[in-house]
Amino acid sequence: MGSTPLLRLDVAVLDRNIAAMSAVAGTADVALRPHAKTHKSPEIAARQLAAGAKGLTVATIGEAEVFAAAGFDDLFLAYPLWVDADAAVRLRMLGERVSLAVGCDSPTSAANLAGLPLEVLVEIDSGHRRTGVAPDAAGQLAAAITELGVRVRGVFTFPGHSYTPEGRQAAAKDEADALGRAAAAMADAGVPAQVVSGGSTPSAEFVQGSPLTELRPGVYVFGDAQQVELGTIGFDQVALTVEACVVSLAQGRVITDAGSKALGADRPSWASGYGRVLETPDARIVALSEHHSTIEWPGVLPDLGSHVLLVPNHVCNAVNLAERYHLVGGGTWPVAARGRNS
């Protein structure tokens, strides 16, 4: 402990990941609007736009404020906002400065958007079972929102059920079917969708031939242990790790100083542990406390005091815990929107 744990970013791998997703979008002729909640970094967003991304997706008004202040002028807040008086003031300031769209899944919520300088994408559920209306209800919702005087730009979904082993391609098909039905319902209701937006890192590779006009993956820039275990990527596509120090070898296991306050505590039921170890694929993080990871390590153990590179299960939550990226080769970038989660 002392310098560790810290976020370690390999910019060469990052740039390869950014180029590869731009190629996926280009081949399928869809716009790329990557989700900036993963990195919260204007430096990384700039690289995404330089590689062809059309604009950014954000999760919160606070993130939108950070990226607008950094000069990004086309933002989609992919969230069914409830806009109170404070939020209305902040959205008005944003919308007067940048091209702004927000999500919405009910006319009750939409009523708070009337008069603000923004457009709406109606949210549908494509199988993740979180927010969003049924695809066939998108036309009725879009018409109701339009009647409130709020302009509807299109429709979006998040196929979060792509985060299951063997489920990626099926989720992409669910997403395409649901967005196709929603777009048809909107056309029938007289509110055609200019933008049909979907996408997640696990499902993105199946976008070809779908009705999507826009893709919103986030995690692909860094990769993480979930993506490795889902089969989306290999370890050679992992750009971000948590550098940790071996502080104990008690009972023949490796204990490092990176716990849930550095890696995040995410562990889906299908994951093999609380993260992985780069370059030691057979190691498993079998337990996690706030400041300890306990690793069952095959073969010769690393020395006490040596540094190891851990791959978080869910990189978005790991990034949100740190103040800065430490770049391989030297230098740092701030996690500019860290903690801007409202």
What is the contact surface with a second copy in residues (CB under 8 A)?
A: 1-6, 37, 59-61, 79-84, 86-87, 90, 105-106, 108-109, 112, 125, 129-133, 160, 245-251, 255, 257, 260-262, 264-267, 287, 289-292, 294, 304-305, 314, 316-317, 320-323, 339, 341-342
Name which of 59 and 230 has its Cβ closer to a second copy.
59
* Helix 61-69, helix 85-95: angle, nearest 10: 30
Of 105 and 213, CB closest to a second copy: 105
Cβ distance to a second copy smaller for residue 30 or 141: 141
Q: Minimal distance in Å, beta carbon 192 to a second copy?
A: 24
Nearer to a second copy (CB atom), residue 305 or residue 329 = 305
> Is the Cβ of residue 209 or residue 269 nearer to a second copy in the bound state?
269
Q: How far is the CB of 16 from a second copy (least distance, A)?
A: 25
Exposure b/e, 109-125, CB count within 10 A at least 16 = b: bbebbeebebbbbbbbb
Q: How far is the CB of 339 from a second copy (least distance, A)?
A: 6
Minimum distance, C-beta of residue 256 to a second copy, in the bound complex (Å): 10
Smaller CB distance to a second copy: residue 28 or 327? 327
- Minimum CB separation of residue 189 from a second copy in Å reads 19
Distance in Å, CB of 174 to a second copy, minimum? 15
- Residue 188 or 296: which CB sits closer to a second copy? 296
Q: What are phi and psi of 207, to 5 degrees?
A: -70, -25
CB of 209 to a second copy, least distance (A): 28
